[in-house]
């Protein structure tokens, strides 16, 4: 069960399985290349806020992925934050 089922209208995507696979690849590339650079540059803020600034970075990166992918729409800040929390939990598990 995803955030779109819990919170109707929060996330919309227009496409088939291949577009969803492309969206996962884009998010993976962003998390693999851009995220380490941003975390290194913002290390003093991350230390100062005891790691909470990492959440701001994650929200920004998910928003950037939403901006890049025309077929994916995240409506509002709270669904964006919820999506970020779900992705963070998945990254912790994996």
pLDDT at res. 2:
57
What's the pLDDT tens digit per position in 21-44?
888 899 899 989 999 999 999 999
Q: Is 42 helix (H, G, I), strand (E, B) or coil?
A: coil
Task: Report the distance separating Cα 58 and Cα 40, nearest Å.
Answer: 14
pLDDT at res. 72:
80
Contact 23, 65 (CB under 8 A): yes
pLDDT at res. 36:
95
Tell me the pTM.
0.78
pLDDT at res. 61:
92
């Amino acid at each position: 069960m995803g955030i779109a089922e819990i919170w109707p209208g929060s996330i919309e995507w227009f496409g088939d399985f291949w577009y969803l696979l492309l969206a996962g690849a884009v998010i993976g590339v962003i998390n693999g290349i851009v995220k380490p650079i941003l975390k290194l540059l913002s290390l003093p803020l991350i230390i100062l806020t005891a790691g909470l600034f990492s959440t701001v970075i994650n929200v920004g990166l998910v928003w950037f992925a939403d901006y890049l992918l025309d077929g994916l729409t995240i409506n509002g800040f709270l669904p964006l934050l919820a999506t970020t929390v779900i992705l963070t939990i998945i990254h912790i598990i994996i």
